[in-house]
Structure 1
Amino acid sequence: MKQTSILNINYLIILISILILISCEKNEKIIAIKGNIPNLLNGTMYLCKEQNLNKIDSVKTVNGKFEFNYNLESKEPIYLTFHHIDNNGVFSHISFKTKAKYKDGGFNSSVLLSDTLIIINDSLNDITPLGFDNGGKSKFQEISRVKAGYQTNAIMHTNGDLFDFINKTTYAKVLNKIKEYPNAYHLLFQINNTRNSFTATQVQNFLNTFNGEIRKSETFKKLEYYNNKRIDKDKILLPLLVNDKGLKTEIIDNNYNKHLVIFWASWCGPCREEIPALKTIYSKYKNDIEFVSISTDEKNEAWKKALIKEAMPWKQLIVKENTKEYETVEIYFQLSSSIPYVALVDNTMKVLKSHVGSMNEKEIEEFIKE
């Protein structure tokens, strides 16, 4: 009996230890956000993931004070945004003044990263643009000071346009920024989003420069895997894609010397708005340049419905994200994370030019001319 009691006590001690460890692990994921904004009206503060439409928590604000204790389930930091609705129904978009720049001017970040502790003790500054009038129901507000950790600090010291206008000087700027913040998820996330705007060698140099726990992250490992496939691109075959008749077909026709490949989707407004201009240019150059549209729609029904309405007279294909085919297409055409995206390629699948965003007739015509 005595031995059984000792075993039971030992079992109990082990069980308590496990529970304590689990509890500690959970506590490490709690993101504490404490606010004391003197001129903030009573109402509700909303905490959102990445954008204002993705609400993850909300708390009442009383005399400018509020507090979030958010349980972060992700192993990686996430972008956080804030907005406030006072008791009169006035919506405030909240941004944070940084130490960085945007196009040689000041830069306000609409996001913070989910550091363990974020303290917002500062008054709001109304930065609503002149002429912005919606009946006083919406404002743009600025916080000049916020105390957070390493991840948010990296955002506060990274120019807002660093990844917006990628050119020959961008690589060195990004590399230097990684050396300054070698464990910054903001930099890793942005590089991953624009990975095809850099050469595979440049991305590899970025990855080699990161240091710390970030190298064990899922985003880092996925980017490294993807980039290794880019390096070995010649070993990857370009897949056949399904056309509008339900048949698998080659993406490009080698009877043409140049190919204008347009990535779009039925839900993409700018993509649809660009189609009339593409039709005009197609009628002028269809004998010299092959036009190919590749939809990234998830649902074939939405794609086919849009095809009927738009009646584009050139090759129509579809590839769905999160598939092996998409990944290979992304590598070959240096696909951007945004659409519309257009690539001009030759018969060797070399991307001669690429462009993100919609273009008018004049811009498309200039784009296809070398």
Structure 2
Amino acid sequence: MNTKSLFLPIKYLLFLLSVSVVLFGCNQDKESNIARIIVDLKDTTSRIEGMKVYLGNKDSGMLVDSAIVEKGKFTLSVAVDTNFIPFRANILYLSPDTMNPYRYLGFNNPFFKKTYEMAVYTEPGTTQFTPLQSFKSKNPEEIVLELDHVNSQTEAAFYHGNFVTGKTDANIKQNADLVLKYPKSIYLLNTLNVSKGDLDEKQLARLLSGFDKSLANSSVYKNIQNFLSYNNDTGSQFPADLKLKRPDQKIISSILNQDNKFKLVVFWASWCLPCRKEIPQIKSLQANYGNSLSIYSISIDKDEAHWQNALKKESMPWQQYLLNDTESFTKLNKKYQLEAIPVWALFGPDNQLIEKRVGYTTGEGSIENAVAAKLRM
């Protein structure tokens, strides 16, 4: 990652499924009831001297603490209870640039040359950062920090370990060894969650059981458990036993009509920039093929207000639903792998799946052109 990536808007950062740096506290506080980040910039004339900096929870999108930079130093912290799970955190501040207001402090990855990350994981104790002396930039807004000690939690994330999807004995052993080496890594657990749809369920269950039980209360651990417990028995048809919310608050269990039209189901979210970019293409499909195509958008937003606001801004003239029921999400996630969005699925007049794709693109492979090609066949 180059230094330009340090300055992406926070909403875009929340969309990205690739996980950035993970750093855990090195020196445990005796009381162990606070996660604290201490930064000494070794410079009283830096760009952020006297400015307010924030500790952002990248998982929730919330700002959890703030501090003023005084004499090149500041401290950020968050309270810890018995159910605390380390979370991805950014250190950021606001710049006068209204077009690109967020600025992020970077973190040096010592395992890869000239690699700088944007997030740290917090856990009980104190983590101390100082400037990376070897980092040189003509832009005074670019600040990269380093940590003098990298523990096993940090190591797992810095190496960006991934699970391989092959079913050979070597592949299975490689995955098992990864969990065996980092059984307490929340980063690795998140990576397993992203990969779960590509792994054999027996292997997935074995890998999950290899993680430390201290992670069992985390939402991502429970998500994988729910994924494993759901029996995906609807074949190529769209599930009809769901709880989906319409904008008028009515709950719907089945959305695909029994008509003679093709059906396009699009999974998206208000915070997902590629999803929002794809909407004009879907509007084009609606305008050109509305007589033979029914469209359904299903948002995976956790915040209903954000979903409702996006609906007002985008004015999408087709059926809209919110997927905020845990059991329903598990069913659809297992069937259509919703860890990366946008995802679209095209069904025939008989409601049987014809094609499913993930990601936003333009040109021949775009949702507009790919779906239109199927309709013209």
CA deviations over 1:73-108 (Å, ceiling 9, x no partner): 45211222223689xxx985211121456xxx8532
Q: Is the 8 A contact 1:50 1:111 kept in 2?
A: no
Judge conservation of contact 2:85–2:215 (CA < 8 Å) in 1. no
Q: What residue in structure 2 maps to residue 83 of structure 1?
A: 92
1:151 corresponds in structure 2 to: 153
Amino acid at match of 2:330: E
Counterpart residue number, 1:15: none
Instruction: Pick the structure with more helix per residue.
Output: 1
Q: Select the structure that is richer in strand.
A: 1
1:1-370 correspondence to structure 2 within 5 Å = 27-39=31-43, 41=46, 42-44=49-51, 46-51=53-58, 54-68=62-76, 70-73=78-81, 74-83=83-92, 93-100=104-111, 107-115=115-123, 116-123=125-132, 139-147=141-149, 149-158=151-160, 162=162, 176-193=177-194, 195-196=196-197, 198=199, 200-210=201-211, 212-219=212-219, 221-230=221-230, 232-234=231-233, 238-239=241-242, 241=244, 248=252, 250-253=254-257, 259-265=263-269, 270-281=274-285, 291-296=295-300, 298=304, 302=309, 305=312, 309-312=315-318, 316-336=319-339, 339-344=341-346, 352-357=355-360, 359=362, 362-364=365-367, 367-368=370-371
Residue 328 of structure 1: CA displacement?
Answer: 2.9
Tell me, in whole angstroms, the C-alpha distance in 2 between the residues paired with 1:64 and 1:124: 15
Q: 1:187 offset after TM fit, Å?
A: 1.3
CA distance in 2, matches of 1:182, 1:140: 34
Q: For residues 62 and 39 of structure 2, what CA distance do their matches in structure 1 show?
A: 21
Residues 334-359 of structure 1: CA distance to partner in whole angstroms, max 9, x if unpaired? 323x5433234576866843313365
Distance 2:179 2:331 in 1: 28
Q: Which amino acid aligns with 1:184?
A: S
Contact preservation (8 Å) 2:264, 2:296: yes
Structure 1 residue 141: deviation in Å?
1.9
Write the distance in 1 (CA, Å) between the matches of 2:220 and 2:258. 37
Q: Answer 1 or 2: higher relative contact order, Cα 8 Å, separation at least 6.
A: 2
Shift of 1:27: 1.4
Kindly provide the CA deviation profile for residues 149-190 of structure 1, in whole angstroms up to 9, marking residues without a partner as x.
43233222226xx59xx9769x86765533331210111133
| 1:268–1:155 Cα change, 3 Å | closer
Structure 2 Cα separation of the partners of residues 144 and 318 of structure 1: 44
- Aligned to 1:325, the other structure's residue is in SS state helix
After superposition, give the CA deviation of every residue in 1:33-54 in whole Å (9 maximum; x if it has no partner): 3333324634356351334974
The alpha-carbon distance between structure 1 residues 311 and 26, as it changes in their structure 2 partners (threshold 3 A), is: farther
Q: Runs of 5+ in structure 1 lacking a partner? A: 1-23, 131-135
Query: Could you tell me how far 1:67 is from its partner in structure 2?
Result: 4.1
Q: Deviations over 1:115-145 (max 9, x none)?
A: 42312234456566x8xxxxx7x72222244
Across the aligned residues of Structure 1 and Structure 2, the Cα RMSD in angstroms comes to: 4.5
Structure 2 unaligned spans of 5+: 1-27, 96-100
- Give the drift of 1:207: 0.6
Kept in 2, the 8 Å contact 1:158–1:177? The answer is: no
Distance in structure 1 (CA, Å) of the matches to 2:193 and 2:260: 33
Aligned equivalents of 2:204 and 2:354: distance in 1? Answer: 18
For residues 243 and 73 of structure 2, the distance between their equivalents in structure 1, rounded to whole angstroms, comes to 58
Distance change (3 Å), C-alpha of 1:59 and 1:78:
same
Which amino acid in structure 2 is aligned with residue 277 of structure 1? Q
Percent identical residues: 19
Q: Give the partner amino acid of 1:110.
A: M
What secondary structure, in the 3-state scheme, does the structure 1 residue paired with 2:142 have? strand
Q: For residues 220 and 262 of structure 1, do their structure 2 counterparts lie closer, same or farther at Cα, with a shift above 3 Å needed?
A: closer
CA distance in 2, matches of 1:267, 1:96: 25
In structure 1, what is the Cα distance between the partners aligned to 2:246 and 2:58?
Answer: 35
Preserved contact between residue 50 and residue 78 of structure 1 (Cα < 8 Å): yes
The structure with the larger Rg is 1
Going from structure 1 to structure 2, the CA distance change for 1:43 and 1:322 (only over 3 Å counts) comes to: farther
User: For this pair of structures, how many residues does the alignment match?
Assistant: 322
The verdict on how the C-alpha distance between 1:250 and 1:68 changes in structure 2, with shifts beyond 3 A counting, is closer
Cα contact 2:298–2:323 (8 A) shared by 1: no
Amino acid at match of 1:81: N
Q: Which amino acid aligns with 1:156?
A: F
